[in-house]
Structure 1
Amino acid sequence: RAALMAMLSGVIGDDFEGEGLSVRQADEDFVVEAPTSSAHKPEYKVGIKPVDSGLVIDHIASGAPVEEIWNRIDKIRRVLGLNLRSSHGVYHTSSGAFKGIISVPDLESFGEKELKRLGAVSPGCTLNLVQDHRVARKYRLGMPPRIYKFDDIACRNENCVSHPSHEEHVEASFVRKGGTDTFVCRWCEKEHDYPEIWRV
């Protein structure tokens, strides 16, 4: 702790010339708006009630085992606070694999911040914003270049200053390593597989 305090006060470490973890600018756009068709809203699977207006999160953990898809649906609902009237489930895709769907009627707003949170929680999913029985906007969400500002993430390294057991109130922050699903802690540089950073 003495060395950390000295670094924070500028007594040591001011001669550091290396580079910290950085995010490649090209990876910033992990939320991509997709074209929509002028056709009526798609017919959803048995058990999913089509929404007249609201949102549909589709392709959740597509191709993963059923238990993992249910866990991802639960994680999305908790992190985004989707404790609303809705329906959700696990269904077959046209290729025979499984995917998750969450359908939330009457949700009036879903901003850029929520889109990025959804991308961080469930990369690879699609968000359809439905208005007047039609898909008004559609977004495809990729793996984000960094994940931070979530109460639900933590570094697994017990010696890291951001580990919850230290009660240092240092926010966990992770940077994606290249084009992989590996995330590196900003503070201790421990590598984590994507699911390991989540505490939910």
Structure 2
Amino acid sequence: MKNQLFALLLLPACLSAQSSTVTRSLESFDKIGISGGFDVVYLKQGNEESIQLDLKGIDADNIETSIKNGVLKIQTKKGSYNNFSAKITVTYKSLKSVANSGSTDVEALTVIKAPEFEYASSGSGDFKGELDVNDLDIAISGSSDMKLSGRAEEQEIAISGSGDVDASALSGNTAEVAISGSGDVKLGVKGKVKTAVSGSGRVSND
């Protein structure tokens, strides 16, 4: 009897720790907003917009995905969620910007191709990806690190925290960098570099 009771008590915990994979079709979007503490959001270009949730310890109903004015918002419902894992894959047709306001890492699985691309981070989530863009605008107000490769002809990078940007493998013509913290920026541009640094941050151009 005691063993049966113990098994019943363990059942909810076991169920909550189960893994699940859910795929949702999406309406058209070209911007992404992420808030929360997911493990990672993968980005890839495809023919149909969709989002895949690979979850453990949290129900898919507690992950909200909505689209308004072309912005795909990804967040958890209000509440307390502990010890869960969420790996999310977003398939897009075109992508103009990503805003990350949490601790979620973002990784581009395919090259991000666009005339202009903006990335803003106000948390601790990192970003890794290859770009093929004309204009790149990066704004970091947290501790996010970025590792970039590919091409971005005109680059604007602003850091007001401790985040680092490694763009040494990102070719380009010009760059403007503003740092008001301890962040470091490594560039790989062949033309003019304009910098404004107030703090212990550093800018180098390889």
Considering the TM-score relative to the shorter chain, is it more than 0.5? no
Q: Which has the higher helix share?
A: 1
Structure 1 length as normaliser, TM-score?
Answer: 0.23
- The higher relative CO (CA closer than 8 Å, separation ≥ 6) is in 1
